[in-house]
Structure 1
Amino acid sequence: MKKNLSLGPVDKAHFLSPCQLRNTRPLKMPSLRSHLGTLS
């Protein structure tokens, strides 16, 4: 399993939960972060 973790950030993203993806993606998409900000 350690090999799977050492493949890289791309493969590592598959192990991330939807919540974690929501926390990282908005950093690259300001418009989405603003939209999520209004919801929360």
Structure 2
Amino acid sequence: MSKKKEKNPDLKGTLYSVGFVGLFILVSWFMAFYLFIDRF
């Protein structure tokens, strides 16, 4: 059996990419909501 040297992999890139995607979804949702409110 081979032992792995890294027990805790570096997940900073994953955190940043998930945060970026979440921010993009929030911004696009608020833009669509503003367009919807602006028409009425």
Q: Note whether the superposition's TM-score is higher than 0.5.
A: no
TM-score (norm 1): 0.29
TM-score (norm 2): 0.29
Structure exhibiting the larger radius of gyration computed from Cα positions: 2
Whichever structure has more helix as a proportion of its residues is: 1
